[in-house]
C-alpha cells in the first residue's frame, strides 16, 4: 500500500520538479557533510566562500534548501560519533581537499 501511495504522489509531481528536488537534496547533503566536518576536523572555513557557493549552486527560489541543509548537517554530525580514528582521518582528508577546491579553506 505504501508503495502505491508513493507512486501516486510521484506521478502527480512534474518530472522537472522532482529532478530539481533531488538535485537540491543532493547539494544539501554534500554541503552539509562539509559544514558538519568543520569542527570535527579542526578547520576554519571562509564564510564568504560558503556564501558564494550557495549563490552559485542553489536556486534562490528553493525555500526548502536551508531546512534540508540543516537536517543533513545534523545527520552528518550524528554519523561522526560512530567513526573510529582511521575513518575520521580519511574523512577529514577528503573533506579538506574538497573544502580547499571550493575555497572554504585558503
Q: Report the percent of the chain where pLDDT is more than 70.
A: 81
| C-alpha cell of residue 84 | 573510529
Confidence bin at 106 (pLDDT 50/70/90)? confident
Q: Where are the domains of the chain?
A: 18-101
Q: Using CA atoms, how far apart are residues 45 and 102, in angstroms rounded to an integer?
A: 10
| pLDDT exceeds 70 at position 17 | no
- pLDDT score, position 20: 57
- pLDDT score, position 93: 98
CA distances from 11 to 8, 14, 16, 102 (A): 5, 7, 12, 37
| Contact residues for 40 (Cβ-Cβ < 8 A; gap 6+) | 77, 80, 88, 92
Q: Name the pTM for this structure.
A: 0.78
Lowest mean pLDDT among 4-13, 19-28, 88-97: 4-13
Amino acid at each position: 500500500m505504501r508503495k502505491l501511495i508513493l507512486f501516486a504522489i510521484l506521478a502527480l509531481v512534474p518530472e522537472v520538479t522532482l529532478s530539481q528536488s533531488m538535485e537540491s537534496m543532493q547539494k544539501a547533503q554534500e554541503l552539509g557533510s562539509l559544514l558538519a566536518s568543520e569542527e570535527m576536523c579542526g578547520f576554519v572555513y571562509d564564510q564568504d566562500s560558503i556564501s558564494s557557493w550557495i549563490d552559485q549552486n542553489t536556486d534562490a527560489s528553493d525555500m526548502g534548501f536551508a531546512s534540508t541543509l540543516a537536517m543533513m548537517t545534523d545527520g552528518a554530525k550524528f554519523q561522526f560519533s560512530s567513526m573510529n580514528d582511521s575513518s575520521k582521518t580519511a574523512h577529514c582528508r577528503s573533506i579538506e581537499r574538497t573544502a580547499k577546491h571550493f575555497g572554504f579553506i585558503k
